[in-house]
Structure 1
Amino acid sequence: MSSSRSPNNRGGRARSLAAGGLVLAVVAELSSVGLLGLSGWFISACAVAGAATFSSFSYIAPSGGVRAFALARVAGNYSKRLVLHAAALRRVATARAGLFDRAAGADRAQADGLWSGELLDRSMADADSAGMALIECTTPVAVTAALTVAAVLAVEVSTSIVPAAVLAAGVVVMAVIAHRTPGTAREAEQHTRKALRAELVTAVDAWTELASLGAAEQLAARTTARFTRLDAAREAAGRRRYRTRLVNGLIGTATLTATAAIGTGSAPDAPTFVFVALLSLGVLAQAEQLATATEARATAKAAHRRLTASAPNSASDTAVPEIRSWSTEHGIGFADYPLPPMALRPGRVLGATVPRGAMLVVTGRSGSGKSTLLRALASSLRQATEGRGGRPAVVAVAADDHLFTGTLGSNWRLADTALTDDEIDERLAQLRLNDSGLTVTTPVGPGGRQLSGGELRRVYLGRALARHPYVLIVDEPTTGLDERTARHVLGILQNLPDTTVVLALHDVPASLELSGHVTQLPLDHRGP
């Protein structure tokens, strides 16, 4: 019962923290503007009193008010930073946790490889944008609204309703202009920057091949064109921001001038006029921040829309057919699996059973549907079974698996956080990765680009083996491996007595003798 209430309690605490931060932000800005207005009034009143021959002006109460506003501003600014940043970080953490929950759910329900590394990085950035909207967007809007109401009331009490109405009208017009200038230019700039980054990464990876094809000049021209588009997008965004700030600055200046001019006749004395002018200046300066807040709001809305939309497929994903599968303590099986349309024999129905500790080798030429079958089987088994004793029910190694930027050890510890450096070195030796000089501290680069294709396949496999699953599904485990290393890797997979293994290969190698322990399932033979 308590566990079911904990998410609601956490959500309530997060909302309370955000509300408290907004209140502190309003108090801090009210104190700042109040300090500005009261200080101006106090200095003017002192000057007037000093110029008079006889004056009964008392500075004690106003000076106390100035000190009170100053202390409130310092304390409010410090407290709002602590509380607002804590609330924003909670929102970011919640968005990231929800992102991984959705990724895990989508992976079980649909297919492996659904969330690519690039998509995950973008989604993490979206989670940060959505969480930080509290500071970048909500707080400036709430503070501007509260300051405007307080200042309008203060100006009306000090002078008359006319200058107060002018001040309110000026802030409203500035808010409308900011609202009508959403962050489309900023979004376009970010999109162009992402495209350029992807182009540069691809160019670096494929430079040797492209140079051998004589395509270096074309690649340079494409990259130069993308740089040009990025510069143009930046200039467009800068011009739009400049126009908005210029218009709002002119409106603010006009509003301040009109408020001061009208207030001159309504103010009972010079100190009151100074108070009204400085108070209006503070409010209008705060209102100029609405343009930046509007950009942040547009970015946060786009991020929230992407985070809450259905999980998109990566470019390599295809529809996964339905499959009926089962898993028991004696092994796994599936039946009634129709080969998809892209297979060489579409419409053919397959089925197989694999004893616990045995191996099923799915063979076929490219396009025969091997990867699709493995994804469907992994998804179906995950939905039908659960791990026991801390072991996962199914771990799948896709042909296009992903490594995170960092070291080899940090990637393997994603599978088992308890792995020590010595244990990782032992696993590296088992997979003969130490022959290539790989260690626990070897950096893998973005997406594993610092490793060769054969090294990547074994690193993926080693990370999966660290989970010690009941069912291990591997797509093309020998890609990029020489014959000797391929035999060694297949020997490791063939000797997992407590794990059922399903492989996808073009052909069954001679090192895997077909027996009761190793079964072949061809997808493209010409039989019925």
Structure 2
Amino acid sequence: MLSSSRRRYVHVRQGSSLAAAGLVLAVVAELSSAGLLGLSGWFISTCAVAGAATFSSFSYIAPSGGVRAFAMARVAGNYGKRLVLHAAALRRIAAARAGLFDRAAATDRAQLDGLWSGDLLDRSMADADSAGMALIECTTPVAVTAVLTAGAVLAVAASTSVVPAAVLAAGVVVMAVSTHRTSGTAREAEQRTRKALRTELVTAVDAWTEMASLGAAEQLAARTTARFTRLDTARGTAGRRRRRTKLAGGLIGTATLTATAATAATGSARDTPTFVFVVLLALGVLAQAEQLAAAAEAGAAAKAAHHRLMTTVPLTASTPTAAEMRSWSTEQGIGFAGYPLPPMALRPGRVLGATVARGTMLVVTGRSGSGKSTLLRTLASSLRQAAEGREGRPTVVAVAADDHLFTGTLGSNWRLADPALTDDEIDERLAELRLNDSGLTATTSVGPGGRQLSGGELRRVYLGRALARHPHVLIVDEPTTGLDDRTARHVLGILQNLPDTTVVVALHAVPAYLEPSGHVSRLPLDHPGP
């Protein structure tokens, strides 16, 4: 079996071969198009001249055969180009996505919640698509224009003289420089404005209730409206810049075509058919050069996307990594040692350790900012790394304070943990967590991000999904958030009575009904422990 990196290397090599073949086919197709245009014009002009002459001996067989050959080469080249270039682009996209997930897998797992969110993943997939499609949208037009210009310049020089060929080459170079200098700026500004608007909208939706209760709904609406106005302005600026670039390219192309025709007509063209050939060939080259504007913009976007894909978000020095904690997991339970509280904790630098027997619960307590969530994330990451490669029941399942539900039903979310769960079994587990009191069933829609559920319902849904995995170790951050005393006591009772699972929970304080006993131990973070 090939490793992931080796498979990706083979994938990239195959994609490079396909890309090279696709570029060759693209060049053949465009050279055939230009040749067809120029030869057709020359052929028609020659036929007209020969028809007007008396006793003309012009033979149309060879030129007409050339026209047919160019036409067939253009059709075949375009068809092959599309097949091969799209296959190469898909391989590049697949390689970029695979590399993205490989880097995610190599990232310290205690940091994944912060670095690899769903929104970031969506944008990273879009960046991988942009980087892969650059082969079609940027590289191919630039390569084709360069080869076509070189071929046309040689053809014009051979049929007339160096002067019109030099004029044509200079015009294409000026068009390329003009489009390159103006590419990307307006698009980047538009993208920044769109990103700011997206962030503002997400924040507005999440904060609307609170802002309305503060009487600040109008101010929030005004902020959002201002963001929309900025986006409209950025779009207008980008559109005007694109139109100016296109107009400038058209003027440069027109001037180049006029100058080429003028220099060819001053005596360097031997006859009328040759003059028509030069003009039409130059027209084909300049039409291809007009694509450089879009290619430059696509290239700028692909370069930015590639930079974002390759940029690694550094771990903050204040966050301890799993390597700073020594942990172990056995059939008898779990333990950890050598964990230093991070600088943002209430007692930074304090080194912690604990052992938790199988079927018992460790309650990590402390005020907000004491480091409870960081300790739980680091412990989960350390235990996963220590148990990497084991099969069967998952070693550890963690329920974060800000866990996530996917749009759909409760049943579809719980089946992510156990695909074999039936609706009846899910309904029974919902009843165990007293979620049936709210009318929740396996077919209940949770809405985007679970927004149709209350905070207390969400906590129990997260917990029930984790319990469906039957883990050896269950780590839960603030399991009673949003719950009334009666429901909180019931949930902690469930966690306290899992004979085959080691449980670690984080709470602000241990309630009276959960005082330390043979099944419950305590690890305080905001003052020295016993």
TM above 0.5: yes
Write the distance in 1 (CA, Å) between the matches of 2:422 and 2:275: 72
Q: Does 1:259 align with 2:268?
A: no
Match for residue 522 of structure 2?
520
Q: Does 1:87 align with 2:88?
A: yes
Deviations 1:23-61 (A, max 9, x none): 222222222222222222222222222222222222222
The number of residue pairs the alignment matches comes to 526
Q: Does 1:135 align with 2:133?
A: no
Task: Check conservation: 2:12, 2:95, Cα contact below 8 A.
Answer: no
Amino acid at match of 1:242: R
Deviations 1:117-147 (A, max 9, x none): 3222222221221111111111111111111
Q: Does 1:68 align with 2:80?
A: no
Task: Check conservation: 2:12, 2:92, Cα contact below 8 A.
Answer: no
Cα distance change on mapping 1:463 and 1:304 into 2, 3 Å: farther
TM-score (norm 2): 0.91
Match for residue 333 of structure 1?
335
Amino acid at match of 2:296: T
Match for residue 474 of structure 1?
476
Cα distance change on mapping 1:284 and 1:464 into 2, 3 Å: farther
Task: Check conservation: 1:166, 1:258, Cα contact below 8 A.
Answer: yes
Task: Check conservation: 2:12, 2:91, Cα contact below 8 A.
Answer: no
Amino acid at match of 2:116: W
Q: Does 1:125 align with 2:119?
A: no
Write the distance in 2 (CA, Å) between the matches of 1:353 and 1:94: 43
Amino acid at match of 2:462: Y
Q: Does 1:366 align with 2:357?
A: no
Cα distance change on mapping 1:488 and 1:48 into 2, 3 Å: farther
Write the distance in 1 (CA, Å) between the matches of 2:455 and 2:260: 71
Deviations 1:264-299 (A, max 9, x none): 222222122111111111111111111111111111
Task: Check conservation: 1:338, 1:348, Cα contact below 8 A.
Answer: yes
Q: Does 1:13 align with 2:14?
A: yes
Match for residue 194 of structure 1?
195
Write the distance in 2 (CA, Å) between the matches of 1:371 and 1:284: 62
SS in 1 for 2:242: helix
Match for residue 355 of structure 2?
353
Q: Which one of the candidate residues 398, 401, 419 is aligned to 1:399? A: 401
Match for residue 173 of structure 1?
174
Write the distance in 1 (CA, Å) between the matches of 2:335 and 2:142: 59
Write the distance in 2 (CA, Å) between the matches of 1:349 and 1:211: 45
Write the distance in 2 (CA, Å) between the matches of 1:70 and 1:445: 56
- More divergent stretch after superposition (290-299 vs 56-65): 56-65
Match for residue 28 of structure 1?
29
Alignment of 1:367-516 (within 5 A): 367-406=369-408, 408-409=410-411, 411-415=413-417, 427-433=429-435, 435-438=437-440, 442-510=444-512, 512=514, 514-516=516-518
Offset at 1:450? 3.5
Alignment of 1:163-312 (within 5 A): 163-264=164-265, 265-311=267-313
Task: Check conservation: 2:8, 2:98, Cα contact below 8 A.
Answer: no
- More divergent stretch after superposition (423-432 vs 50-59): 423-432
Write the distance in 1 (CA, Å) between the matches of 2:144 and 2:411: 47
Runs of at least 5 residues in structure 2 that lack an aligned partner in the other structure: none
- More divergent stretch after superposition (376-385 vs 428-437): 428-437
Amino acid at match of 1:155: V
Cα distance change on mapping 1:164 and 1:495 into 2, 3 Å: farther
SS in 2 for 1:399: coil
SS in 2 for 1:57: coil
Write the distance in 2 (CA, Å) between the matches of 1:151 and 1:227: 48
Write the distance in 1 (CA, Å) between the matches of 2:15 and 2:461: 40
Write the distance in 2 (CA, Å) between the matches of 1:312 and 1:427: 41
- More divergent stretch after superposition (27-36 vs 396-405): 396-405
SS in 2 for 1:401: coil
Write the distance in 2 (CA, Å) between the matches of 1:397 and 1:297: 42
Q: Does 1:320 align with 2:320?
A: yes
Write the distance in 1 (CA, Å) between the matches of 2:412 and 2:286: 51
Cα distance change on mapping 1:384 and 1:254 into 2, 3 Å: same
- More divergent stretch after superposition (285-294 vs 402-411): 402-411
Write the distance in 2 (CA, Å) between the matches of 1:503 and 1:72: 70
Deviations 1:151-179 (A, max 9, x none): 11221222222211211111111111122
Cα distance change on mapping 1:448 and 1:131 into 2, 3 Å: farther
- More divergent stretch after superposition (116-125 vs 440-449): 440-449
Offset at 1:364? 1.6
Cα distance change on mapping 1:8 and 1:123 into 2, 3 Å: closer
Write the distance in 2 (CA, Å) between the matches of 1:306 and 1:391: 36
Task: Check conservation: 2:89, 2:133, Cα contact below 8 A.
Answer: yes
Offset at 1:214? 1.2
Task: Check conservation: 2:318, 2:342, Cα contact below 8 A.
Answer: no
Amino acid at match of 1:320: P
Task: Check conservation: 1:361, 1:504, Cα contact below 8 A.
Answer: yes
Write the distance in 2 (CA, Å) between the matches of 1:411 and 1:312: 32
Offset at 1:411? 4.4
Task: Check conservation: 1:364, 1:505, Cα contact below 8 A.
Answer: yes
Amino acid at match of 2:344: M
Task: Check conservation: 1:182, 1:298, Cα contact below 8 A.
Answer: yes
Task: Check conservation: 1:27, 1:73, Cα contact below 8 A.
Answer: yes
SS in 2 for 1:248: helix
- More divergent stretch after superposition (67-76 vs 274-283): 67-76
Cα distance change on mapping 1:107 and 1:160 into 2, 3 Å: same
TM-score (norm 1): 0.91
Write the distance in 2 (CA, Å) between the matches of 1:427 and 1:69: 71
SS in 1 for 2:526: coil
Offset at 1:66? 2.0
